[in-house]
Each structure stands twice: as structure tokens, then as C-alpha cells.
Amino acid sequence: MEEKINISLPVEVEYIIDMLYKNGYNCYAVGGCVRDSLMGEKPKDWDLTTDANPETVKNLFSHLQTVDIGMKHGTVGIIINDKVYETTTFRCEKGYGDNRHPDAVEFVRDVKEDLKRRDFTVNAMAYNRKDGLLDFFGGRRDLQYKTLRCVGDSKSRFSEDALRILRCLRFSSVLGFSIEPETALGMRESVQGLKNISAERISSEFFKLICGKDARFVLRRYKEIFKILFPEIKPLFETKIKYRDYNGVIKERTLWQYSAGALSFVKNYQEKDHEYALRFAVLFHCLGSPVMEINNITDCGFETLSAAVAEEILLRLHCSNSLSETAVALIKNRSADISEDKASVKRLLNKFGYEKTFLLFDFWQCIYRGINIPEIKKRYFASLKCSEMLYEIVRNGECYRLRELNITGKDLISAGIVDGKIIGSILNYLLNMVIEEEVKNDKETLMKKAKEYFLKN
Ligand code: ATP
Ligand code: MG
């Protein structure tokens, strides 16, 4: 006897399904939420699919707040307890002239038709309590074997909508699933369609992808697909570097293999934009190296060149300025001095602020880790020490910027120094001495030094 699947639905979802049922309509939880529930994960959001048309959904839930998310495509958002439940009418899609949008959508009566238009078998299951799990395309089996497989013929599914290629790679990276061979082939055969996908959609998928637990495998195995998005990476496939593994054996790998591998050392950050910038910098910090080799450029540093190429890519992806600035700053400082003393950590803190300095130390640790070359190992251990010092400085509230200096412009004015410009240079002079630990950060000492400076200058 087939095992009865039971998924525990949130009360809000039960409520929406019940309301539609009472009025003679079908409704199911569908897609990612069913997939995640079957995997024992908590879904981020719950999407629903129904045979009621969007106007009917709006009328039935008129006592609640609803939003027209895409009426033409059948999607109404029902808001309950501040959460949006996207409810979409069963539909099929017709014609994809541009590799990204269906030319038309058509509402249908049969849920199977709706599931058939979905991208992968694991995303094409629906569930409600009455009918149990609807799985027409072997989604559960693929989930069990951690496999991504297109619903239907992969080549046509990817050429209908090339974004599915990136979704496939992203799911593979994030879920740790392998891509079934026919699906992988279909993907490779449809890559040119990626050129029609908007920068925003590419960047949204790509950043999620590089945060996945299997990002390094996906980036290496499907490098030819990434080359379509970022032609700048091609030389990284051809430039080999030697390294010594932990048994002392000399091995070789390409710069792309190395950069993708370094991603596995990046920690998860609460602040996603920081994690995106860090991961992007780790993956793209070598872009200048092959260019230098090929063009024999000697007057422009490796880091500056890598940063310039990376910046162009970020611009093309329409990334936010702050993400782009952070990633570029990290790449530029790839080989900055690492001194294991507090004063230099404080100088970095003063220059970059807390967030970027923190990221810079993590960046160094990711790109240096696993390279068994004495000089690099030294930098790696030094950067670990710097991270410790950073924690200590922040925990103790030690001074590294004017805000923590125990003297202010007002104090100097009270002491009779009134010229704003001179006040500014005195404060910076004092801050510098405090950072270098030449004087203590106490008011009396600082005032004494301020007066000395004033009289001398
Ligand atoms: P997650 O939200 O975890 O990223 P998801 O599977 O829920 O994953 P959504 O983008 O929220 O992804 O889409 C919801 C569902 O809509 C998917 O599970 C899939 O069934 C369908 N879907 C989304 N995008 C596409 C697409 N480009 N082609 C076909 N079906 C799609
Ligand atoms: Mg979703």
C-alpha cells in the first residue's frame, strides 16, 4: 500500500484552502514549500495554486487584505498575519519567443496541467490534506535521490526560459542535488538563451548560487555556462597554479578551481549583502592575473586590475553601490600589509570601518587557507591573529576613530583654540598617537599633547 504523505500546513494555508473548498474550488500548497516540507525543512514561504480565477480569489478573501501581484498571470497575494500567501490560478504557458517570458498564459481546469509547466520534478508537486500529495512526474523519487530533473523535455524547457538554467544550478548548489544527465545536457545546449535574461534576475540567482553549500562543485563542473555570463573568467580556466598539499605533494589546479574552492571557507553571514560581497571577491579576486600574463602588463598591479574587471562585472549585474564598493575594496586589498600588531589593525579599522575590516580578515583567511606555501601560510596565520585583535579592540571599546577619542573639539575650544582647521588637525594628530599607542587615551594627557602641538605649529 502506498504510504500516505502528511505535510503539516500552517493554519493560514489551511484556512485559504478550506475557504476555497467550501466555495467549490480546489486549492493546493505547491512548489518550493512542498519540496522543502518533504525534505524536513521549514519553507520560507507558502505558495498556493487553485482553479478559482484571480477575481474569484479576490472576492472570496475581500474580508482580508489582498494584493494584485500579477492578475494577468493569475497571482493574487492574500495577506494574513502580515505574511503574503501567493495564490495563483492553475495555468499553462504558451510560446516563449524571447527565452524568458511566455507569450501568453492560459488558465486551465486541471492541476496536472499546472504542475506540468513547472521547472523541475521536485518543484512540481502539490499537496492538500484531502487529496494528499500530487506527484505526477516522480518528484518524490528525485527528492530521495537528490536529483534535479526537468519536467518534460529538458532542451525545450530551458530554451523556453533560460532563467531555468540558473535556477537549476542554484538549486544544485544550495540543496546539494546533482543534475540528471539529460537535464544537464539540455542546459548546456540552451546556454545562449542566457544572453536574453535581465541583469537583475541573473544577479539574484547567481548570488544565491555562490552561497550554496555545493557552490564550488557547480562552478567547476558547469564552468562553460558561467563563461557565457562572465566571459572574463575564461583565462582562469587556462592558468594553472602549483600548490603543495598537506602531504607535501606538489599539485596543480587552475585559478578557477582554486577560486571556486576557496568559497567553501566562507562563513554564513546574517547580513546577506556582506556575504555576497565577500563571496564575490573570493571568486573573482584573480581576474587580473591571466590578463597580466597575456598582455604582459607590468605597470598595473594584479589587485588593481582584478578589482577593475570585477567592478565591471558588478556594474553589469546592476549590483548595489555598497555591495560593489565592498567587493572591490576587498579585492584591491588582497595583498595589503598584514602586521600582527594592534596599531595596524586599528589603522585598518580607521580606514575601512568595522564591517569592511572584519570582511577583509575573513577574505584573507578564505583565499590563503589550504595553500601550503610558507609565505601564504604566514599571511593566513597573521590574518587569524588580526581577527582576534579586532574582537579585542571592539570588545574593550579601544579607540580607533575620533568618536572614541577622549577629547573633543569643544574641549579644545574651551582651552582657547578656536580655529576649526587647527582643531581638526590636532584631533587627527592625537588620534594617530592613540592608535600607535604613543599616548594613553585620557583627557588630561591628550589636552597636554594638544597644547604642545598647538604651540609648536
Ligand atoms: P525558493 O523560493 O526556495 O527559491 P521555489 O521553488 O519556491 O524556491 P519560487 O521562485 O518561489 O521557487 O517559485 C515557486 C514555484 O514556481 C517553483 O517551485 C516552481 O514550481 C515554479 N517556478 C518558478 N520559477 C519558474 C520558472 N522559471 N519556470 C518554471 N517554473 C517555475
Ligand atoms: Mg518560493
Give me the pLDDT at residue 296, please: 56
* pLDDT tier, 150 (very low <50, low <70, confident <90, very high otherwise): very high
* pLDDT tier, 54 (very low <50, low <70, confident <90, very high otherwise): very high
Phi, psi values for residue 87, rounded to 5°: -120, 115
Q: Considering every ligand atom, which ligand is closest to the CA of 34?
A: 1
Whether residue 172 is predicted with pLDDT greater than 90 in this model: the reply is yes
Residue spans of the domains in the chain: they are 11-137, 146-229, 231-398, 403-456
For range 155-183, the mean pLDDT: 97
Give me the pLDDT at residue 386, please: 96
Q: Considering every ligand atom, which ligand is closest to the CA of 88?
A: 1
Grid cell for residue 106: 492560459
Q: Which residues neighbour 337 within 8 Å (Cβ) at sequence distance 6 or greater?
A: 344
Per-residue pLDDT reduced to its tens digit, 78-99:
999 999 999 999 999 887 778 7
For range 68-79, the mean pLDDT: 95
Question: How far, in Å, from the CA of 36 to the mean position of ligand 2?
Answer: 10
Question: How far, in Å, from the CA of 121 to the mean position of ligand 2?
Answer: 15
Per the CB < 8 A criterion, the answer to whether 230 and 224 are in contact is no
Question: How far, in Å, from the CA of 339 to the mean position of ligand 1?
Answer: 48
Substitution site in 114, 119, 161, 207 for ligand 1 pocket (most atoms within 8 Å of beta carbon): 119
Per the CB < 8 A criterion, the answer to whether 89 and 54 are in contact is yes
The C-alpha atoms of residue 61 and residue 15 are separated, in whole angstroms, by 11
Give me the pLDDT at residue 251, please: 86
Whether residue 27 is predicted with pLDDT greater than 70 in this model: the reply is yes
Atom of ligand 1 nearest to the CA of 47: 14
Cα distances (angstroms) measured from residue 307 to each of 31, 84, 312, 330, 369: 39, 40, 9, 8, 21
Give me the pLDDT at residue 348, please: 94
Per-residue pLDDT reduced to its tens digit, 236-270:
999 988 887 778 888 899 999 999 999 999 999 99
CATH class held by domain 146-229? mainly alpha
**What's the burial of 203, exposed, middle or buried (CB within 10 Å: 0-12/13-18/19+)?**
buried
Whether residue 202 is predicted with pLDDT greater than 60 in this model: the reply is yes
Strand partners of residue 268: none
Give ligand 1 pocket residues (Cβ under 6 A). 31-32, 44, 47, 118-119, 123-124, 161, 163-164, 167
Per the CB < 8 A criterion, the answer to whether 265 and 366 are in contact is yes
Grid cell for residue 230: 562572465
The C-alpha atoms of residue 183 and residue 115 are separated, in whole angstroms, by 18
**What's the burial of 166, exposed, middle or buried (CB within 10 Å: 0-12/13-18/19+)?**
buried
Whether residue 456 is predicted with pLDDT greater than 90 in this model: the reply is no
Element holding 51 (H helix, E strand): none
Give me the pLDDT at residue 293, please: 62
For residue 313, the SS3 value is helix
The C-alpha atoms of residue 112 and residue 104 are separated, in whole angstroms, by 19
The C-alpha atoms of residue 47 and residue 32 are separated, in whole angstroms, by 8
- Give the residue from 67, 72, 74, 63 showing the smallest Cα distance to 15: 63
Phi, psi values for residue 179, rounded to 5°: -100, 120
Substitution site in 45, 167, 171, 177 for ligand 1 pocket (most atoms within 8 Å of beta carbon): 167
Per the CB < 8 A criterion, the answer to whether 36 and 77 are in contact is no
Per the CB < 8 A criterion, the answer to whether 48 and 16 are in contact is yes
Give me the pLDDT at residue 3, please: 67
Number of Cβ within a 10 Å radius of residue 5:
14
Per-residue pLDDT reduced to its tens digit, 378-415:
999 999 999 999 999 999 999 999 999 999 999 999 99
Radius of gyration (C-alpha) of the chain in whole angstroms: 28
For atom 30 of ligand 1, which residue has the closest CA? Answer: 118
For atom 9 of ligand 1, which residue has the closest CA? Answer: 32
Grid cell for residue 166: 540558473
Give me the pLDDT at residue 89, please: 97
Q: Considering every ligand atom, which ligand is closest to the CA of 171?
A: 1
CATH superfamily assigned to domain 11-137: Beta Polymerase, domain 2 (3.30.460.10)
**What's the burial of 42, exposed, middle or buried (CB within 10 Å: 0-12/13-18/19+)?**
exposed
For range 25-30, the mean pLDDT: 98
Model confidence, pTM: 0.92
Element holding 155 (H helix, E strand): helix 154-160
Chain-wide mean pLDDT for the chain?
A: 93
pLDDT: which is higher, 290 or 438:
438
